[in-house]
Amino acid sequence: MNQLLLDIAPEHAPTLANFVAGRNAELLRVLQDMAAGGENQNVYLWGEAGSGKTHLLRAMLDSLATNGRAVIYAAGEVPESSADVVAIDDVGRLGEAAQIRLFDLFNHLREEHGILLVSGGAPLLQLGLRDDLRSRLGWGLIYQMHALNDDEKCAALREQARQRGFTLPEEVVRYLLRHVRRDLPGLVVILDALDKHSLRLQRQPSIPMLKEILQDLHRSH
């Protein structure tokens, strides 16, 4: 079991196609349009941990890079880069000097018709940012991201299982959500382990099988 869990990937590559929108459907449509060549717009995404902010930032970079744009991603810092699409996760972690660099980067990208994608854990007014930077970030699109509720997570996990070629029993999904409070990427990691373990044993996924995987994950940490 330990080797089985070591072999699974930590998560699938985030794309716009595999993002489960839930109540974020409008935001997803806006980003898809931008990625397909629509108007360049700066975007600020905010929401609780696990709501999908990082997924969308990385997915947008992947889509825009495929279309020939130079892209770069950073978390809690401002990169020194000539990329014309920059994504910065967790802007609330930036110190004073980094905020000044981000202000300058915003102006540079605006002049060069680039794109700045930024995320944070709260509305701009609640972050400890410089007034001039907060004002600049407020010029673009601002969306609150909503985490998936349990019904949406259930539907997403069942779809993930279907794509892998197996059926995930309802009682297994509900047990997973009751006993593992994780965001969707973390749940998918466990789903992958369950898939591999059921294939190895040639048995359908079950609650006892899931308990074994969760116990082994707990021991490995």
Question: pLDDT digit string (tens) for 133-192?
Answer: 999 999 999 999 998 888 888 888 888 888 888 889 999 998 988 888 677 778 888 888
CB-based contacts of 218, cutoff 8 Å, min separation 6: none
94 falls in which pLDDT band (50, 70, 90)? very high
Please give the class, per CATH, of domain 148-220.
Answer: mainly alpha
**Distance in angstroms (rounded) separating the CA atoms of residues 115 and 109:** 6
HEC secondary structure over 23-56 = HHHHHHHHHHHHHCCCCCCCEEEECCCCCCHHHH
Q: What share of the chain is helix, strand, coil (3-state, %, to 5)?
A: 55, 10, 35
Total-model pTM = 0.81
Q: Domain-by-domain residue ranges, the chain? A: 22-144, 148-220
- Predicted confidence at residue 220, as pLDDT, reads 65
**Distance in angstroms (rounded) separating the CA atoms of residues 219 and 83:** 43
DSSP strand E in 76-167: where? 85-89, 115-120, 141-144
- Predicted confidence at residue 2, as pLDDT, reads 37
Minimum mean pLDDT range among 38-47, 62-71, 82-91, 198-207: 198-207
Retrieve residue 118's tokens.
Answer: 């930024």
6-55 tens-digit pLDDT: 343 344 678 898 888 999 999 999 999 999 988 899 999 999 988 899 99
> Residue 50 carries which side chain, given as an amino acid letter?
G
The verdict on domain 22-144 having CATH code 3.40.50.300 is yes
